[in-house]
A = this chain, B = another copy of it.
Amino acid sequence: MPQLRLALAQVDAVVGDLEHNARTVLEWTARAKTAGAHLVAFPEMMLTGYPVEDLALRRSFVDASIAATTALATTLEACGLGELAVVVGYLDRATGERGIDDSGAGERGAGEREPDHGPTTQGQVTHDPASGAEGLPRGRPQNCVAVLHRGQVVARYAKHHLPNYGVFDEFRIFVPGESLTVVRVCGVDVALAICEDLWQEGGPVATTRRAGAELLLVVNASPYERHKYDTRLALATRRANEAGCALAYLNLVGAQDELVFDGDSLVVSAQGEVLARAPQFEQDLLVVDLDLAADTVDPVSLPAGVVHVTVSGRAVPAYDPIATRQAPRLDDVGEVWAALVTGLAGYVRKNGFSSVLVAMSGGIDSALVAALAADAIGGSNVFGVSMPSAYSSQHSRDDAADLAKRIGADYREQPIGRFVDAFLDELALTGVAEENLQARVRGLVLMALSNAEGHLVLATSNKSELAVGYSTLYGDSVGGYAPLKDVPKTLVWALARWRNAHARLRGEVPPIPDSSISKPPSAELRPGQTDQDSLPAYELLDAVLERYVV
């Protein structure tokens, strides 16, 4: 049996930063070469980042993606990496539009605007989703992978199945592909597929079997979601059986805006045996040796809809395979912790910040946010400010200071009494208006410090509060990123306990003061206030929200 050493580069990409993403491909291809790989794959839309949303509809961006892919092939060759076959996700024009020149002939003229629901000045234009609005290109592009080898783009595959539900809006921005691409690398026939293609019965999976490929390589940008119960492995196993060959599942890792990608790439044999598995939420190069039959696809009698490209036809001499690796799996709360840290770190870094500012009240929400931030970007990059009012208890102030010390954060106190009094003296405020005033004065102090010192402000509201409006607009809601926006209050406590237990297991100082976890939650905006004056018990509230808020 000939051998193929496959490297799955489970890496992060930045939406829109083609140059940065190309550098990442270069760097990890070099690692793959060092590891002796013959074929290295990168995630779905690696060069453009994912999700690109309506950026996909800008012709200039699609052109830049194509140019970056071509340039990357040249650079890889120039850096001595040209012998590796590199599979890399990017954005390309739809098949029917390729070869159109840039003179604008492919764009609508000024007299062909679509001012309402459709064009009226052209006889034959059907107003299908592929035709865009004014100022956008005529056609949607395709979500593609390119195969790079010896300085050239030698093959291309466009995603067939475009998810259009939940966080996905791909039908709006992409044209589906129609043919299957099989590339022969070191004599092994490898079929290519992208993400949703794997979730569909039939389609590329069935065509892979008909074509007779020995490996189905699926590149993904599949977001983390809680309670998956390892369905990816179950799916990969089933599809490997259906495709009748080994299956490699490569996922993006990192965070982009409101999505977190968890990695967790894996390789299974045709029989469903797990051959290798990468860690969750970490960049990784997963290298696996596969013993596969050679030349299983007959290029002269291909099934309909299959394109075959020989990248390197010669099998490699026999060698000793490397040991396989299966990374340990995180538990449920550990997954959530890692997802929150990944999301926060990605958002801070991709938006050009290096430090964050957190209002430390002594309560559990701000303590959790600060602990997450310390794990994400380092405690020394976390700046805490306590802003006590007349209603703030001494234990709250002590807990806030204790937290900062535990995580190694910068800490200051800025009392707000004088500011609040100035407003109360001139504006006759009572009740909720007075309570909100305090939260808004704190928001104003946070933004002033952010402006003066350049930190990203983190908002500390959790999902339970946000869902019922137990939060002050322009007060608690102030901040560029809200790490707990999708974390209900009961999970806030569970995460805090999990993180402290994790620290104790490792002999480290638990980051969160126990009293922040155990005391009754209070906004401390009036004397003796607790959350349960206004809300049901959080166990009950969260159970309701779980059923009501998707």
- Contact residues of A with B, CB < 8 Å? 113, 115-121, 123-127, 129, 131-136, 161, 163-166, 169, 171-172, 195-196, 198-202, 222, 225, 227-229, 231-232, 234-235, 238, 414, 418-419, 422-423, 426-430, 432-433, 436-437, 440-441, 443-445, 447-449, 451-452, 473-474, 478, 550
A452, closest chain B residue (CB): B433
Which listed residue, B129, B202, B426, B452, touches A427 by the CB 8 Å rule?
B452
Given A120-B235, A126-B200, A127-B161, 9 extra CB contacts under 8 A:
A115-B227, A116-B228, A117-B163, A117-B199, A119-B199, A123-B201, A127-B196, A129-B165, A447-B473
Which listed residue, B169, B199, B225, touches A169 by the CB 8 Å rule?
B169
> What is the CB-to-nearest-CB distance from A317 to chain B, in angstroms, rounded to a whole number?
39
> What is the CB-to-nearest-CB distance from A412 to chain B, in angstroms, rounded to a whole number?
11
> What is the CB-to-nearest-CB distance from A511 to chain B, in angstroms, rounded to a whole number?
28
Which listed residue, B118, B222, B231, B441, touches A444 by the CB 8 Å rule?
B441
Which listed residue, B120, B172, B201, B429, touches A238 by the CB 8 Å rule?
B120
A237, closest chain B residue (CB): B120
A123–B133 CA distance with the chains assembled, in angstroms: 39
A118–B227 CA distance with the chains assembled, in angstroms: 14
A423–B451 CA distance with the chains assembled, in angstroms: 14
Contact B232 A116 (CB under 8 A): yes
Q: Which 3 A-B pairs have the closest CB atoms?
A: A118-B199, A433-B451, A115-B228
Contact A419 B418 (CB under 8 A): no
> What is the CB-to-nearest-CB distance from A480 to chain B, in angstroms, rounded to a whole number?
9
Known A228-B115, A229-B115, A427-B414; judge A444-B437 contact (CB<8 A): yes
Contact A222 B163 (CB under 8 A): no
**Max chain B Cβ within 10 angstroms of own Cβ: one of A165, A227, A447:** A165
Sampled A-B contacts (11; CB under 8 Å): A117-B163, A117-B195, A117-B199, A121-B234, A127-B163, A129-B163, A133-B166, A414-B427, A429-B452, A444-B444, A447-B473
> What is the CB-to-nearest-CB distance from A218 to chain B, in angstroms, rounded to a whole number?
11
Contact A448 B474 (CB under 8 A): no
- At the interface, is chain A mostly helix, strand, loop or mixed? loop
A134–B550 CA distance with the chains assembled, in angstroms: 8
A473, closest chain B residue (CB): B447
Contact A165 B171 (CB under 8 A): no
Contact B451 A447 (CB under 8 A): no
> What is the CB-to-nearest-CB distance from A428 to chain B, in angstroms, rounded to a whole number?
7
Contact B165 A225 (CB under 8 A): no
A443–B474 CA distance with the chains assembled, in angstroms: 9
Contact B474 A115 (CB under 8 A): no
A113–B225 CA distance with the chains assembled, in angstroms: 12
Known A201-B124, A422-B422, A426-B418; judge A222-B441 contact (CB<8 A): no
List, in ascending order, chain B residues with CB within 8 A of A201's CB. Answer: 123-126
A199, closest chain B residue (CB): B118
Contact A437 B448 (CB under 8 A): yes
A547, closest chain B residue (CB): B135
Contact B116 A231 (CB under 8 A): yes
Contact B222 A117 (CB under 8 A): yes
Known A124-B201, A172-B171, A436-B451; judge A117-B164 contact (CB<8 A): no
A515–B403 CA distance with the chains assembled, in angstroms: 55
Contact B222 A116 (CB under 8 A): yes
**Max chain B Cβ within 10 angstroms of own Cβ: one of A135, A202, A447:** A447
A452–B426 CA distance with the chains assembled, in angstroms: 13
A424, closest chain B residue (CB): B448
Contact A427 B447 (CB under 8 A): no
A147–B200 CA distance with the chains assembled, in angstroms: 39
List, in ascending order, chain B residues with CB within 8 A of A129's CB. Answer: 163-165, 171
Which listed residue, B124, B133, B169, touches A550 by the CB 8 Å rule?
B133
List, in ascending order, chain B residues with CB within 8 A of A164's CB. Answer: 129, 171-172
A444–B126 CA distance with the chains assembled, in angstroms: 51
List, in ascending order, chain B residues with CB within 8 A of A429's CB. Answer: 448, 451-452
A276–B123 CA distance with the chains assembled, in angstroms: 26
A448–B166 CA distance with the chains assembled, in angstroms: 37
Known A127-B196, A231-B116, A414-B427; judge A133-B448 contact (CB<8 A): no
A229–B110 CA distance with the chains assembled, in angstroms: 13
A423–B473 CA distance with the chains assembled, in angstroms: 20
List, in ascending order, chain B residues with CB within 8 A of A169's CB. Answer: 169, 172
Contact B422 A418 (CB under 8 A): yes
Contact B199 A231 (CB under 8 A): no
Contact B422 A120 (CB under 8 A): no
A440, closest chain B residue (CB): B444
